[in-house]
């Protein structure tokens, strides 16, 4: 379901791009051509970027992927993206400023030049965003016409939390400050013939765009915390730009004065210091969020029995085991069956399910039957081509829901302990890490993104024996105790505890004595 509130993002971005331009024009009466110069340079720069993205960029990404992984690719791509932006945007602005003799500009005209650049970008991005949302809301079936991978990527963006509506508006507002600051630096470089101002503009633009690959790798932009962590960097640079504009205003009309060079040098020190702080803050994080890296599972020893404990009393249990291999839609699958029984004063519930997965626990097919207080419900999920088809049968009626799903998602149905156990068994675990787990849950609202932080390493007593366990802390406060080999020992949440009950896990395996 697409949240209509995301249409407000586009409207907000358009207003952010348009209102400052109209306000500056009303306040200063600068000619409209000064705004249009900035808009024209943006159009040329973005066109050049598109040409590079269709030609050089894919080749570069492919080449880097064959040599580096993860952080290495992010750093090198950041350098490429940042320098590309710096030279195309600040470089083109510098050439136009010389060609059009913009050295005669005063501060108000220089700001208009920057507002034209940044405002046109914000307005066009907002317009495209609004049109996309409006079309999808008016004609939902159009989503099914997209290729599966594009459809899955689009749906994952459109089903994000509503709190993210403000994120692109905030980003555009502070990005405009960055553009105006850099434009004023370029004009000042031509006006005073101090090349250091141009270098400062180039460096600031390079930093602004160059950090984005690293930030998007570090933080998951689909979560509220991740998205606004990325925007915090943009806000910080925008604040520096605003402070810089106040400083530079007095430089117009002061030509060839020694303190002009000192100001440019001081500005460079601020930029370099900010870059060092930003990189250090990210590198120094004890827990850098990263996607789960999968490993293959030995299903022959995959089984478990767990008890559900509420206020010290056992209210139910779960049992699961490996059933053997099968083939579904031409894919070799490994079948896990699980039975869950829960009983409390409020309800009696039993759940039976069979999950077909690949060797690294990617879901292929899942069939689950739920009996609760006499009511019967069946859920059948089939995965393929970046999509999941969920058929729900209840009260003799069947409805089908088809949606996009990330190819790295694990399937985790509510109360199905084998699914959590599979995820941890398939993960390559390291102490003091934070993992981003993509989860599809047929009875918990579709696809979710969970942050799993290894907050501690403890000795956990299970059936009279102590075992070293990583303590995974979820954003919800739930705790998962998992051995270094990936065996799930215990789950603690705000309601109940789920504890392994069938003996001790043997060292290095998932076997139980």
Q: Compute the distance between CA of residue 394 and CA of residue 162 in angstroms, rounded to an integer.
A: 30
> Longest Cα pair distance anywhere in the chain, in angstroms?
87
Query: Residue holding tokens 């890296």?
Result: 293
pLDDT in tens, 240-259: 999 999 889 888 854 444 44
87-125, pLDDT tens digit by residue? Answer: 999 999 999 888 877 788 899 999 999 999 999 999 999
pLDDT of residue 432: 58
Higher pLDDT, 198 or 436: 198
Q: Residue 286 has what pLDDT? A: 40
For residue 176, give the nearest of 35, 77, 52 by alpha carbon. Answer: 35
- Per the model's pLDDT, the better-predicted residue between 148 and 50 turns out to be 50
Whether 5 has a pLDDT exceeding 90, the answer reads no
The DSSP output letter for 76 is H
Name the band, by pLDDT with cuts 50, 70 and 90, for residue 359. Answer: very high
What is residue 418's three-state secondary structure? helix
Three-state DSSP class for residue 427: strand
**Contacts with 446 (C-beta within 8 Å, 6 or more apart), sequence order:** 159, 403, 440
Q: Name the percent of the chain lying above pLDDT 90.
A: 42
Position 445 scores a pLDDT of 56
Residue 139 dihedral angles phi and psi, to the nearest 5°: -130, 70
| Residue 153 banded pLDDT, cuts 50, 70, 90 | low
Residues 401/354/436/217 CA torsion (nearest 10 deg):
-60
Q: Are 296 and 326 in contact (CB under 8 A)?
A: no
pLDDT recorded at residue 282: 44
pTM > 0.75: yes or no = no
Q: Among residues of the chain, what percentage have pLDDT more than 70?
A: 83
Decide which of 508 and 209 is more confident. Answer: 209
Q: Which of 245, 235, 227 is nearest to 274 (CA)?
A: 235
Q: Tokens 């331009």 correspond to what residue?
A: 21
Answer with the residue of higher pLDDT: 506 or 244.
Answer: 244
Query: Quick one: pLDDT band at residue 155, thresholds 50, 70, 90?
Result: low
* CA nearest neighbour of 488 among 507, 506, 465, 505: 505
Are 41 and 179 in contact by the 8 Å Cβ rule? The answer is no
């Amino acid at each position: 379901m697409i949240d209509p509130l995301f249409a407000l993002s586009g409207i907000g971005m358009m207003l952010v791009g348009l209102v400052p331009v109209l306000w500056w024009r009303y306040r200063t009466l600068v000619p409209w051509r000064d705004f249009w110069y900035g808009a024209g340079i943006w159009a040329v720069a973005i066109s050049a970027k598109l040409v590079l993205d269709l030609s050089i960029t894919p080749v570069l990404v492919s080449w880097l992927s064959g040599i580096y992984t993860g952080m290495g690719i992010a750093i090198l791509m950041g350098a490429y993206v940042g320098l590309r932006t710096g030279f195309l945007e600040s470089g083109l602005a510098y050439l136009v400023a010389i060609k059009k003799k913009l050295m005669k500009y005063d501060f108000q005209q220089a700001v208009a030049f920057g507002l034209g650049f940044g405002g046109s970008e914000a307005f066009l991005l907002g317009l495209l965003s609004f049109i996309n949302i409006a079309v999808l809301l008016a004609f939902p079936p159009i989503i099914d016409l997209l290729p599966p991978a594009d459809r899955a990527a689009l749906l994952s963006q459109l089903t994000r939390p509503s709190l993210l509506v403000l994120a692109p508006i905030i980003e555009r507002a502070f990005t405009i400050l960055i553009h105006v600051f850099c434009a004023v630096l370029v004009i000042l470089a031509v006006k005073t013939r101090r090349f250091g101002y141009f270098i400062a503009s180039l460096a600031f633009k390079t930093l602004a765009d160059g950090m984005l690959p690293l930030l998007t790798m570090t933080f998951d932009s689909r979560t509220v915390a991740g998205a606004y962590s990325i925007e915090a960097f943009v806000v910080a640079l925008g604040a520096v730009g605003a402070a810089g504009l106040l400083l530079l205003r007095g430089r117009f009309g002061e030509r060839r004065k020694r303190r002009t060079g000192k100001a440019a040098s001081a500005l460079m020190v601020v930029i370099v210091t900010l870059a060092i702080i930003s990189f250090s803050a990210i590198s120094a994080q004890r827990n850098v969020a990263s996607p789960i890296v999968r490993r293959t599972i030995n299903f022959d020893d995959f089984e478990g029995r767990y008890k559900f404990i509420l206020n010290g009393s056992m209210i139910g249990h779960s049992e699961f085991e490996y059933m053997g291999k099968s083939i579904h839609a031409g894919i070799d699958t490994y079948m896990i069956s699980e039975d869950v029984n829960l009983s409390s004063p409020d309800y009696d519930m039993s759940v039976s399910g069979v999950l077909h997965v690949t060797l690294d626990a990617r879901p292929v097919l899942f069939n689950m039957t739920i009996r609760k207080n006499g009511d019967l419900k069946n859920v059948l999920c089939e995965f393929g081509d970046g999509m999941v088809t969920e058929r729900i049968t209840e009260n003799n009626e069947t409805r089908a829901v088809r949606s996009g799903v990330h190819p790295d998602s694990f399937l985790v149905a509510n109360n199905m302990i084998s699914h959590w156990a599979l995820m941890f068994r398939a993960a390559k675990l390291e102490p003091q890490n934070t993992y981003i787990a993509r989860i599809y849950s047929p009875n918990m609202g579709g696809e979710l993104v969970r942050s799993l932080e290894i907050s501690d390493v403890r000795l956990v007593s299970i059936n009279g024996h102590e075992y070293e366990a990583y303590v995974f802390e979820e954003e919800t406060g739930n705790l998962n105790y998992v051995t270094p080999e990936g065996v799930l020992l215990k789950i603690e949440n705000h309601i109940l505890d789920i504890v392994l009950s069938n003996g001790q896990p043997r060292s290095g395996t998932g076997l139980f004595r």
